[in-house]
A and B are shown apart, each in its own frame.
Chain A
Amino acid sequence: MTRTMTRTMTRKGTQQAIIALTTSIACATLSNALAAPEPIVLGAVFNLTGALASLDVPAYNGAKLAVQELNAKGGVLGRPLKLVVEDTATDLKRIPAAAKRLMGQKVVALLGYTDTDAVKAFVPFSESAKLPFVVVGGTSPDLSGSGKRVFLEPFGDNTQAAVGAEFAHSSLGAKTVYLLEDTSNTYTTGLMKYFKDAFEHAGGKVGRKDTYTSGAKDFSSQIANIKALKPAADLLYVSALPDDIVNVVRAVRAAGIDTPIMGGDGYDTPDLLSKGGKSAENVFYTTHILLDPENGNSRAKDFIGKYKTQYQKLPENAFAALGYDAVRLIANALIRAKSTDSDALFKSLASTKGYDQITGSITFGSGVHIPSKAVTVVAVQRGQLNLAGEYTAKYVPKP
């Protein structure tokens, strides 16, 4: 009896315990099901207005597209991604406040900017917060290294300038070059320094170098110098920001100079064709990819299709793909880290190896977080952007 009772009690107790436990689990599950997992927040900083908008808006669009695509597939680590953005309006003075606002939103990583000066102004804040910062399009090789948590999605300016120099010398047959540099910007001055180094290394000569300041409209003195140059320059290398290159190209062509003009990825703006018109003929520039809907590789075609579906237009330039790639680079590192902890994420990003993306494969070396990607050269011919090749530099100037 007693035993029976005990057994009964025990059985009843067990049943009750099971019911209680089951109820508890069911409630917890229901509760969990009702409460969506906490999103992983990525902080984005871009110049969505102002002089750099033609690069940063496509980059931001690319980033948004990547987040949307990853969330549609279940997010990362079982959690959705959330992209919060700050527009610093091509004004460096706005960066501190924007950084403060971003840091207050539990961000686990940062991404953004296509300009070196903006990146430089933002990095102290990202470093102070010990957050990894993936630079979408800033290309100065000085941005990374020295233990910083800064990672470049693109190649460095020394690499693109080197490819430009080799292309100028070998494919365009340029022996003497005229240099025109915007002295107001770290990107333009750095790019010029590396181009000159690489061009002379390739055996070319600098006929003359002139300067201007971003926003200039009058290039008459520089044009007079170009015309007076003997021997005549085979190439004009103009290191310019996107807002200025159209003005330079128009002024040079209006003066009757049809010499090839070359520059860096600052030229990769829709304005070059839409505003430059016929003046842009015979212009060449280095960039990250030419998003060719007809002859692009399968990754590029896939991206072009998604971008067009989302925004009802083709990607404006390579920066759209860089923005997309930057988000996916962080997502890939999060998955490998299996954590959103900033230290774990930093280590995971730093160990990225052979990660294939639209704009090339990413491998970060020890201490230097700049990938060695191939550089695309674009030629403007017959009113179109044409692929002139994808190259790896033989000689890369040291940063």
Chain B
Amino acid sequence: MLEVSMSGVAMRYSRVLLASSLLGGFLTCSSAGAYTVVAVMHGTSGASGDFDLPNLRGMQLAVSEVAARGGGLKGEKLTLQTVSPDGAIPTWEVSAYLLGASLTPAEVLKVAAATRSSGAALVLSGQGGAAVLPSLGGRGILVGFGDNAQAAAAANFALKHGWKSVMVMSQSDHSQSQDLTRYFRDAFHALGGGMLLSQNYDSADGDLKNPEVTRRLRATLKSVDALYLAAGNDDVSDLVRKLRSIGVTLPILGPDRLEFSLPSDLSAAQLGELYATVHTLISKNASGPLGKLMDRYSSAYNSPLQSSFTVVGYDALQLVVEAASKAGSAKANAVLAALNSMGAVQGIVGTQSFQVGSRVFSTDIMVMVRLTNAGHVLASAEPLTYLPKP
């Protein structure tokens, strides 16, 4: 039996409610279940929604799957409750928290403080999670990959293409962007890169309105082979469009944030080479577990699965279910202990395992895709040879 409760930010989640209703029969009012997973997320529209809506839908699909096989743990009810990080967060009878990918490190810390009494695991899916893990009192676990991993994958990708001089554009007022820059720099030089230039921009100038900034950027970009956008929470789509409009034809690489940032008004020629690290390749031809999940997504939401954050959300919830199963208990401390002792876990994104010395469940293969108007095209899939320290 399954219950999915939507509370706190229900009004902001109207799209989710609408979509969730398509799951048919799974939505009921919450009761005090012994097996409650709380998803802490922003809204499902705007920049946050880019991450959170697909993320949440992945969790919902996992919940429905658990329900279909008779519940997660000896038949107990599995309740997925969604709350806003700005509102009251329940701490009673919570098995684990799943933190949305759009939460900033500061918000993650705030949630950690508000839920300390629960002792429950804080399962993060990206967005700067690696940087705050040490500050979460042993409760933080990151699934998917850390920013250190995705920055290193991009650096490795650039160098394998012979792009030995690269410029990193960083959002000066965004901590995750600064972390990505640091990790990319570390990996780029460790892997034998040449010149790495930096260009900061603040979110107010995200679209490069300042002609002096544009002039300098254009002049400096003549000396590099590629551009890494250490994108934060701004509208990367506008940034890519502006860069192309001022004549920047260089290959552009970026983190998983770019997955949502395809300037749809640009032709293939205008778009040029645009690459991003993704948690998994979403392809129409996908088969196996991913293909099945895509089918179920289409049925549930009447649209194709397009974001790998859906898969991350799905895997994150399944990870908690598996931990509870392994622990033989849905109690918070038991689930957390089980998560901490799990080795390699097979998820849809691939085999995930704890990175040595960290609390990150990272995929064994890092995937980079070329973003095109026709969808994602696999550009590279290989293990990391160097991982910067968080």
B255: Cβ under 8 A from any A Cβ: no
Mask, A367-399, CB within 8 Å of B = 1, is 000000000000101001011111000000000
On whether the beta carbons of B196 and A171 are closer than 8 Å, the reply is yes
Do A297 and B215 form a contact, CB below 8 Å, given A171-B196, A173-B193, A173-B196?
A: yes
Distance of A297 Cα from B216 Cα, bound (Å): 8
| Per-residue contact bits, chain B 201-219, to A (CB 8 Å; 1 contact, 0 not) | 0000000000010011011
Complex-state Cα separation, A170 to B223, whole angstroms: 16
Contacts of A390 in B (CB 8 A): 216
Q: Is A363 an interface residue (CB 8 A)?
A: no
Interface centre among B198, B212, B218, B222 (most CB of A within 10 A): B222
* Cross-chain contact A171 with B222 (CB below 8 angstroms): no
A86 within 8 A of B: no
Q: Are B194 and A292 in contact (CB under 8 A)?
A: no
User: Is B372's CB within 8 Å of the partner chain A?
Assistant: no
Let me know if A207 is at the binding interface, CB within 8 A: no
Q: Are A297 and B196 in contact (CB under 8 A)?
A: no
CB within 8 Å for A297 and B212 given contacts A171-B195, A171-B196, A379-B195: yes
The closest CB in chain A to the CB of B218 belongs to A295
Q: How far is the CA of A282 from the CA of B215 in the complex (A)?
A: 24
In the assembled complex, B165 has its CB within 8 A of some CB on chain A: yes
B381 on interface, CB distance cutoff 8 Å: no
Chain A, range 58-83, C-beta contacts under 8 Å to B: none
Contact-residue size bin, chain B (C-beta under 8 Å from the other chain):
10 to 19
Question: Does B196 lie within 8 Å of A381, measured CB to CB?
Answer: no
B389 within 8 A of A: no
Judge whether B193 and A387 touch: CB under 8 Å.
no
Give B174-205 as 1s and 0s: 1 = Cβ < 8 Å from A's Cβ atoms.
00000000000100110001111110000000
A386-B188 in contact (CB<8A):
no
B194 touches A295 (CB 8 A): no
Identify which of B188, B196, B222 contacts A387 (C-beta below 8 A).
Answer: B222
Nearest-CB distance from B339 to chain A (Å)?
36
Q: Is B218's CB under 8 angstroms from A381's CB?
A: no
Q: Out of B212, B218, B220, which one reaches A388, CB within 8 Å?
A: B220
- Would you give the shortest CB distance from A358 to chain B, in whole angstroms? 15
Query: In the complex, which residues of chain A have a beta carbon less than 8 angstroms from the beta carbon of B165?
Result: 379, 381
Counting CB contacts under 8 A, is A17 at the interface? no
Contact B188 A173 (CB under 8 A): yes
How far, in whole Å, are A294 and B222 apart by their CA atoms in the complex?
11
Q: Which residues of A contact B216 (CB under 8 A)?
A: 295, 387, 390
User: Roughly how many angstroms separate A390 CA and B222 CA in the complex, as a whole number?
Assistant: 14
Minimum CB distance partner of B190 in chain A: A173
Partner of A389, one of B188, B189, B215, B220: B220
Instruction: Considering the complex, give the chain B residue whose CB is closest to the CB of A290.
Output: B219
B246-277 near A? 1/0 per residue, CB < 8 Å: 00000000000000000000000000000000
CB pair B223 A292 closer than 8 Å: no
Pair A296/B197 contact, Cβ less than 8 Å: no
Q: Determine if A173 and B197 form an interchain contact, defined as CB atoms under 8 angstroms apart.
A: no
Tell me how far the C-beta of A129 lies from the nearest C-beta in chain B, rounded to whole angstroms.
Answer: 42
Interface contact B195-A172, CB-CB below 8 Å: yes
A295 touches B223 (CB 8 A): no
Q: What 0/1 pattern do residues 291 to 309 of A give for CB contact below 8 A with B?
A: 0101111000000000000
The distance in angstroms between the C-alpha atoms of A384 and B219, with both chains bound, is 13
- Chain A contacts of B198 at CB under 8 A? 170-171
Listed in ascending order, the chain A residues whose CB lies under 8 Å from chain B are: 170-173, 260, 282, 284, 290, 292, 294-297, 379, 381, 384, 386-390
Give 22 CB contacts A-B under 8 Å.
Answer: A170-B185, A170-B196, A171-B195, A171-B196, A171-B197, A171-B198, A172-B195, A173-B188, A292-B219, A294-B219, A295-B215, A295-B222, A296-B219, A297-B212, A381-B165, A381-B223, A386-B220, A387-B219, A387-B220, A388-B220, A388-B223, A389-B220
Interface residues in chain B, defined as those with a beta carbon under 8 Å from any beta carbon in chain A = 165, 185, 188-189, 193-198, 212, 215-216, 218-220, 222-223
Given contacts A171-B198, A386-B222, A390-B216, 14 further A-B contacts (CB under 8 A): A170-B196, A171-B195, A171-B197, A172-B195, A260-B194, A260-B195, A292-B219, A295-B216, A297-B212, A381-B223, A386-B220, A386-B223, A387-B216, A389-B197
